[in-house]
Amino acid sequence: MTRWSTRWSRHGAPLVGVLAGILAHVGAGVPSYWGDEAASVLSAERSVPGLIGLLGRVDAVHGAYYLFLHEWIRLVGTSEAAVRIPSAVAIGVAAAGVVVLGSRLLGPGIGVLAGLVFAVLPIATRMGMEARSYAFAMAAAVWLTVWLHELVQRRESRWWAWALFAVGFAGGVYLFLYLALLAPAHLAIVLGARASRPVVLRWVAASVGAAVLAAPILVLAMSQREQIGFLARRDYATAGAVLVEQWFGSAWVLAVAAWCAMAVAVATAAFAQAGRSTRSGVVVVVVWMAVPTAVLLAGDAWLTPLYNPRYLAFCAPAVALLIAAGLRALGVYAARLAARPMLLRTVPLVGLGLVVALAAPAYVAQRGPYAKDGGSDLRQTAEVIAAHAVEGDAIVFDRTVKPSRRPRLALNLYPDKFARVEDVELVKPHEAHTSLWDEVAPLPEVADRVLAHQRVWAVESDADASDVAALRLLGYRVERTIPVHRTMIYELVRSQP
């Protein structure tokens, strides 16, 4: 091993981790929150007893993350930039883990290369600025796999070491339910290492123990499965979602290049004179990448709606490892064909540069003000109200769209911007009951409360505003219309009797 390689093998993981974390957080405060992040923030703002009550009814699978976020926002507040910091840190931790795991499974040069590829994958740069648990799931997936690889390689026989691993794996499932689908990749590690019978038995026992420890969250998830019933109304399980959106966002050219690199890695492991350890490493990452996707697609088709491209984010480290292995193989082939050893290093670096260039447009787009959920403008809506409303005004919100897209979330997330207006439709705030969202009354039922105000602001999801029609029947007229992005704000006034 050269001095350069030795230095990278020692310092590559922390350096790549720091770089990935910084890259993920740049611009994190620009996009407005969106519906899923609203669920995170509004849940985390509750008291611990209130949060536990909520989790008993809905979102139990996100409970570990919500409890963490509860403590985090007590320290830093609820601004987008602050709340998204832990996800960026988690991406950095995951990237460092990719370097370590790649170095052990596929070689030191591949580890660093894979960590850098992971750092710029659109799924990593997106989830690194999302107040959800996906980035944490990526980090947990990588380091659980590193942990198991270490136990197997040193032929660990102490039961307590395997018991700790069982607890860690179960903890990962509490953090993100679908991490249970890592088990096939872990089986590939055990089989690929040709582990001794005692090691195999201990891994089996640890896996069973993890399943027992995770049983409560699995049972709760089954009892709350109606919360993902919306998947039945979405056409998520498409070739485009699986091959492109799942890990590459909208960067389809990057997806094509990445799949080509991954095909080279698989072909090299299958047909070239690769070492047994390298071949078994490729098998591990292929199983990690492919089996969870196949399981969710099969379950979605034959059992119940399960598939959402975001749910496979924890497989992104495997994708990065396989891309890096392919780039490394291309370097080997180029060096041999041209009889120029320098190409062994140059070709992978050029490939990395291509990945960065192809990922850059997605990175920039993810950091626009309306980047989330196809144009979420909750913060911008709140800023318009803060700029134009005066003391004594009333406000009503569109209720015709699904709860996670309702403009009322602007009030929940940025309450200081609405300090001068009265929320006339509110019946019970979200924190006062075991539901994610506020309980509100239809506008006709609160007509008396509305008529106590001369000016009303109607915040609507589109131009076909039913609330505006209802307010006109009460004697209000539209004074002006303020388009935000996908939200329309109407100022209505009523003539003095």
| Conformational region of residue 107, where left means phi above 0, alpha means psi within -120 to 50, and beta covers everything else | left
Q: From edge to edge, which strands make up the β-sheet containing 393-397?
A: 421-423, 393-397, 455-460, 488-494, 476-483
Residues 61 and 140 in one domain: yes
**How large is the average pLDDT for residues 198-227?**
91
Distance from C-alpha of 357 to C-alpha of 398, rounded to nearest angstrom: 41
Are residues 337 and 385 located together in one domain of the fold?
no
- pLDDT > 80? residue 157: yes
Q: What is the CA radius of gyration of the chain?
A: 26
Mean pLDDT (whole number) for 303-325: 93
Tokens standing for residue 460: 């609507």
The answer on pLDDT for 233 being more than 60 is no
pLDDT at 4 over 50: no
Please report, as a single letter, which amino acid is at residue 129.
M
Q: Are 442 and 356 part of one and the same domain?
A: no
Tokens of 134: 């996906």
Find the helix or strand (DSSP H, E) in which 33 lies: none
The tens digit of pLDDT for each residue in 472-492 reads 999 999 999 999 999 999 999
Same-domain check for residues 15 and 121: yes
Q: State whether 255 and 157 are in the same domain.
A: yes
Clarify whether residues 90 and 107 are in a common domain. yes
Q: Residue 300 and residue 295: Cα distance in Å, rounded?
A: 8
Domain final position from 370, 385, 403 = 370
Q: Are 153 and 196 in contact (CB under 8 A)?
A: no
Domain hosting 483: range is 377-494
Domain end call among 346, 370, 394: 370
In angstroms, the CA 51 to CA 269 distance is 49
Average pLDDT over every residue of 300-327: 93
For residue 6, the model assigns a pLDDT of 46
- Confidence bin at 5 (pLDDT 50/70/90): very low
CA–CA distance, 379 with 364 (Å, rounded to integer): 20
- Number of other CB atoms surrounding residue 278 within 10 Å: 20
Give pLDDT tens digits for 36-92: 999 999 999 999 999 999 999 899 999 999 999 999 999 999 999 999 999 999 999
Tell me the average pLDDT across 335-358.
90
Q: Identify whether residues 296 and 189 lie together within a single domain.
A: yes
Return all residues near 353 (Cβ < 8 A) that are at least 6 apart.
none
List the structure tokens of 451.
Answer: 């008529």
Structural domains in the chain (count):
2
- pLDDT by residue (tens digit) across 110-154? 999 999 999 999 999 999 999 999 999 999 999 999 999 999 999
| Structure tokens given for 13 | 């993981």
Answer for the pair 118, 23: CB distance below 8 angstroms, yes or no.
no
Last residue of a domain, one of 335, 370, 405: 370
User: Are 272 and 311 within one domain?
Assistant: yes
Q: Rounded CA gap, 274 and 280, in Å?
A: 10
Instruction: Indicate if 118 and 176 belong to the same structural domain.
Output: yes
Which pTM value belongs to this model?
0.94
* Helix, strand, coil content of the chain in percent (nearest 5): 70, 5, 25
Q: How large is the average pLDDT for residues 208-224?
A: 93
Determine the average pLDDT of the residues in 277-304: 91
- 366 and 401 together in one domain: no
Judge residue 228's burial from the number of C-beta atoms within 10 Å of its C-beta, 0-12 exposed, 13-18 middle, 19 or more buried: middle
What is the C-alpha separation between 376 and 380, in angstroms, rounded? 9
324 shares its domain with 406: no
Residue 207's contacts (CB-CB under 8 Å, 6 or more residues apart) are: 166, 169, 183, 186
Identify the pLDDT of residue 275.
57
pLDDT digits (tens, 9 = 90+) for 164-176: 999 999 999 999 9
- How buried is 441 (Cβ within 10 angstroms: 0-12 exposed, 13-18 middle, 19+ buried)? middle
pLDDT of residue 2 exceeding 50 = no
> According to the model, what pLDDT value does residue 304 have?
77
- Are residues 315 and 224 located together in one domain of the fold? yes
Q: Give the mean pLDDT of 403-419.
A: 96
